[in-house]
Chain A
Amino acid sequence: MILPRPSLHRRNLLAGGAGLLLAGCDKVIQQPAARRILFAGDDMHKGLQRALTDRGALAPEFRPDQMSPIFRANGTRDPGTPAYAAMVADGFASYRLAVGGLVDRPLSLRLADLAAMPSRSQITRHDCVEGWSAIGQWQGPMLGTVLKAAGLRRSARYVVFTCADLYNGQPYYESIDTIDAFHPQTILALKMNGRRLEVAHGAPVRLRVERQLGYKHAKYVTGITAVASLDGIGKGQGGYWEDNVDYDWYAGI
């Protein structure tokens, strides 16, 4: 029997090499050039998805018997500010949704105005960036209807949402582009599972962008601003998590 002697030295070398590579990744990501390349990943996925697949494709919708028994609330469960508490106290009678930026007719919409618009109902899957999913029913006017009512200008490329909940003392904010903004399943949900939206799920208005991860679905929406570029928003990455913890702006991945 010929037994090539396994060399302990080489084995150590391999294990050591693996450790070095892992540690190397931590170093690499600190290099600005490497960071730029790695951080271009979401743009590449977005480009590929949009170029190779139908950009109007609908997210899968489900039957009522396929819904999660309990829909987990995540992120802010209650903004807890005096202003928000006052709105809860008056049943959101004083709530106003401000629609502005690159629009011809800035709007200030009451909850009743939104409820009077034609609404869409959909049972969809909510995917958190952490990995879990929950299926629930959402109902409300399409964002596109609101944007058309405000007369969105051609120069607008993104829609920024400002919220009533605070992170580090600043209102939560998120953004999507006009392709997703006019997608038929992108709605301003006023109802969830057949009832008025609860505080834990973003009452009174929560964005649904069904082809992206949960952190894009801004809760407690109070402002919608159409812009040509995300440069002037927050630190320029388009959202609270994007600006502060490096989450991908395009969350369809």
Chain B
Amino acid sequence: MIAPAPDVARTGSPPGTILRRHALTTRLWHWINAIAFFILLGSGLGISNAHPRLYWGRYGANFDHAWAQLPRFPAWLTIPSSYNLAISRRWHLFFALVFAFGLAAFMIASVLNRHFRRLRLTRADVSPAHLAEDVRDHWNFRFHDADDPAAYNSLQKWSYILVLFVALPVMILTGLALSPGMDAAWPWLLDLFGGRQSARSVHFIAASLLGGFAVIHLVLVILAGAGNELRSMITGRWRVPE
């Protein structure tokens, strides 16, 4: 049985039911974004190796105080694998466009197709007691609500909201603030983050948090059943787990 949409198939989908879980735009964006993110992170770490010191404020160079001295990222983490700032930047700045315009298109599509409705917070999602229960459920590898298995759980909603509406836009805005041409065109970018070197620090911190998110995201996909989850993000079809 194929239920048309998660909202319609609200109550009591028995285990084994196949639901249409993800819209085509969501699936397309997910994979474009996954590739762009992966390349941005790898090439970003290559860029970081050129000057692995981070500063707060408008300026910052070798004689100034650095709040962080970063490690040298090894070849297996960077794009390209052998140090080459020019090529890292070519990858980074090309995929910055893919990433930024991809996110913008996905945002527009998700408002139009009401995908974001699934992220709407209910009273339960902001109640500490419920969130604590959700943490316990995750800890016990229970990810789905039996009454509405396709719904996003509270922790899932919160992490997707923080990633989509905070972390990813922050990557774009801080990335733009690193461009001297954009700083002339949109000086408010600098005011927003307190100077170019602060923007660079925030860019790095937010990239690290997103890297952490990506790892947890992949682990949870594996725990929730990689085959089923992967298929749902490719064909849209998701089987309600036992």
A→B interface (CB under 8 Å) = 1-4, 6-7, 10-11, 14, 18-19, 21-23, 25-26, 29, 37-42, 44-46, 48-49, 53-54, 57-60, 62, 66-70, 72, 125, 127-135, 210-213, 241, 245-248, 251-253
Contact = CB atoms under 8 A, between A and B. Distances in A.
B50 interface: yes
A232 B93 CA distance: 27
B205 to A, nearest CB: 15
A246 B86 contact: yes
A143 to B, nearest CB: 16
Nearest to A58: B184
Mostly helix, strand, loop or mixed at chain A's interface? loop
B115 interface: no
Given A49-B185, A58-B184, A69-B64, A248 B90 contact: yes
A4 B61 contact: no
B62 A211 contact: no
A2 B87 contact: no
A7 B185 CA distance: 50
15 contacts: A10-B222, A19-B76, A25-B39, A40-B94, A44-B97, A45-B179, A48-B97, A57-B185, A125-B183, A131-B50, A211-B184, A246-B84, A248-B89, A252-B182, A253-B181
Interface stretch (B103-111, B119-127, B223-231): B223-231
Contact of A41 (B62, B97, B180, B225): B97
A57 B186 CA distance: 9
Contact of B225 (A4, A19, A49, A69): A4
A39 B80 CA distance: 15
Nearest to B63: A70
Size category, B interface:
35 or more
Contacts of A62: 58
B180 A212 contact: yes
B74 to A, nearest CB: 11
Contacts of A128: 51, 61
A59 B60 contact: no
B207 interface: no
B141 interface: yes
A253 B185 CA distance: 12
B218 interface: yes
Contacts of B226: 7, 10, 14
A122 to B, nearest CB: 12
Interface in B136-164: 140-142
A41 B39 CA distance: 14
B86 to A, nearest CB: 4
B200 A29 contact: no
B194 to A, nearest CB: 12
